[in-house]
Structure 1
């Protein structure tokens, strides 16, 4: 007796070739889609040094870290996950903008999440979350708004950092932001401590902002300790050095498809930077600098071309390699002295595993927990039946980690105070 599947196969074989092709093509596409989606389902890989604090925090996040991350069926790979992750719906709430002047006459903006009408003011020592966007971004990005909303729901203050010239701000000095300059983030964090001296300050950063935050933490760690209670970085590119980067530099271990895809993403990012320059090129400080290749920057098709024309001379680097080495945050990871969680996806089209820090570097620092997933894309991690709604998997992990780090910090301080009294 034949099975139903074999009976259907026999019926399919009796169809004319044109009708076979009509049904075969969509079936193959659907099968490929499902296989690609299924390959990205899996439990997160969690790496960290074996310390009491890390074990405690991981145990507190066990519900999230022990279960499989299942991408939305509509995001079968990193490209779909990345794209939909940027356009999904986000909460709406009012913000208050604060402009902060910098050492060079420039400025950046902090957008504070308003508590809303009828709601009591938060206590002076309420925790503060600073959220830092990525390249070509601003405080209205979905991931920024979600992080601020989650912080507010916990009773924390939330402020979104807008890089100079971003989020509708004017570039008021001849220096724009880049992937290595941490001075503005340092000023923002110091400003928060000055205004709320009794409040623990935390930070969450994404993509290029994540790279800057890790570099800042390492720089501060080399001279003491950064004044942060905890931090999370999501989709950090980790390195700008050509020998690690996929796509633009066409590293030998990457195939032609990786090269093409990398060039496409590089072009999209570069077009955003070109718009940034075009929007601010009327500034006298930029126009008058003969060392800047403004024409080359406005014609650049890849990030390396743009950085060579503008970033390198603007910030006084010797050459492109000098800038890339200085901007690679993995080199500063060993010096981080505050609790830090790093979240990356293996199918991130912008940050493949070849760009991640070496395993020994990740596991050597007792303050770092590195979490990676098979799927998720770049700041994507869509989940559920509707990928355009709700929190991402990374959103959930981020806020739970910060809450766990705060609780652990409080327990450690209480234990230290008790010991000192004995």
Structure 2
């Protein structure tokens, strides 16, 4: 599952897919779920993706399990996709249909992320906030006919005039998701609240120098008490970067493949007579 406004075209997703498909121990087939209206797709209903609702991912998992009943299904999420994957795994608990889950650069506490993103610095003011704002507004323009027919009272001109991420949230995101305030929305989306309920093997990989999903939002206490979870922290890596070597490659590719291979081996041993 990709990050906000991302999709199957992203470099890191294609690299993970290639690495897992070519693994000698546990080769995998790869499915990427694109969020509604993302990855250059059009909305077919007025409902959009948000940071709270896990129903779309649940439907994808259920469909795969029904089509391939003997297959082990692993979930991998990136950024916001990692948060929704975590929330889904916690909601499902020990009944989760995934064999294991892997979260890369997960924003466990979106309230912390929001405060970090709204702070004024060069990266936020000139890169992150303008990019996210433009991406969300581009999604609106591409799907405005469907969105404006939703009956939710969107103001087309007000959306177009949004200057900041706070404007986008207030005028567009919150109204679409059905929440009254930012605090209400981000508290509902907080995947940190679900770490304690995860009932399957779960690996989280985060970087201490990630400026988008800061370390302050990681629920260390909940990781310590849930034996199903593993938290791997690197000193460097940024957000979804984790580049290493003289000819840079993504470091976590091998870590993800090893975790999947280990999980596949353990599940097969458990299933054997």
Normalised TM-score (structure 1): 0.60
Q: What corresponds to 1:167 in structure 2? A: 39
Which residue does 2:154 correspond to in 1?
Answer: 292
For 1:139 and 1:243, how far apart are their aligned partners in 2? 24
Report the 3-state secondary structure (helix = DSSP H, G, I; strand = E; otherwise coil) of the residue aligned with 1:209: helix
2:90 maps to which of 202, 207, 218: 218
Deviation (angstroms), 1:377: 0.7
| Aligned position for 2:173 | 311
Shift of 1:168: 2.9
Q: 1:400 aligns with which of 245, 252, 258?
A: 258
Cα-to-partner distance string for 1:289-310 (whole Å, 9 max, x where unaligned): 3522443333334433322212
Equivalent residue, structure 1, for 2:233:
372
The CA distance in 2 between the partners of 1:331 and 1:304, in whole Å, is 24
Q: What is the DSSP-based 3-state SS (H/G/I as helix, E as strand, rest coil) of the residue aligned with 2:227?
A: coil
Q: Distance in 2 between matches of 1:147 and 1:236?
A: 16
1:28-57 per-position Cα deviation (integer Å, ceiling 9, x unaligned)? xxxxxxxxxxxxxxxxxxxxxxxxxxxxxx
Q: 1:158 maps to what in 2?
A: 30
Name the Cα RMSD after superposition: 1.9
Aligned counterpart, 2:69? 197
Aligned counterparts of 1:320 and 1:215: Cα–Cα separation in 2? 19
Query: SS at the partner of 2:115?
Result: coil
4+ runs of 1 displaced by more than 4 Å?
none
Offset, 1:188? 0.2
> Does the 8 Å CA contact 1:271/1:301 hold for their aligned counterparts?
no
Deviations 1:95-117 (A, max 9, x none): xxxxxxxxxxxxxxxxxxxxxxx
Choose from 121, 137, 142 the match for 2:11: 142
1:185 is aligned to: 57
Inter-CA distance 294–211: structure 2 relative to 1 (3 Å threshold): farther
| TM-score, normalization by structure 2 | 0.91
Per the alignment, residue 208 of structure 1 pairs with 80
Match of 1:237, SS?
A: coil
2-structure distance, mates of 1:296, 1:411? 58
Unmatched 5+ stretches in structure 2: none
> Is 1:234 matched with 2:104?
yes
Aligned partner of 1:274 in structure 2 is: 137
**187-196 vs 331-340, which deviates more?**
331-340
1:163 CA displacement: 1.0
Gaps of 5+ in 1: 1-131, 251-255, 418-422
The count of aligned residue pairs is 269
| Alignment pair present for 1:335 and 2:205 | no
User: Aligned match of 1:409 in 259, 262, 267?
Assistant: 267
State the shift of 1:238 in Å.
1.2
- Counterpart CA distance in 2 for 1:216 and 1:142 is 25
CA distance in 1 between counterparts of 2:29 and 2:53 reads 26
Q: How far apart are the structure 2 equivalents of 1:244 and 1:289?
A: 28
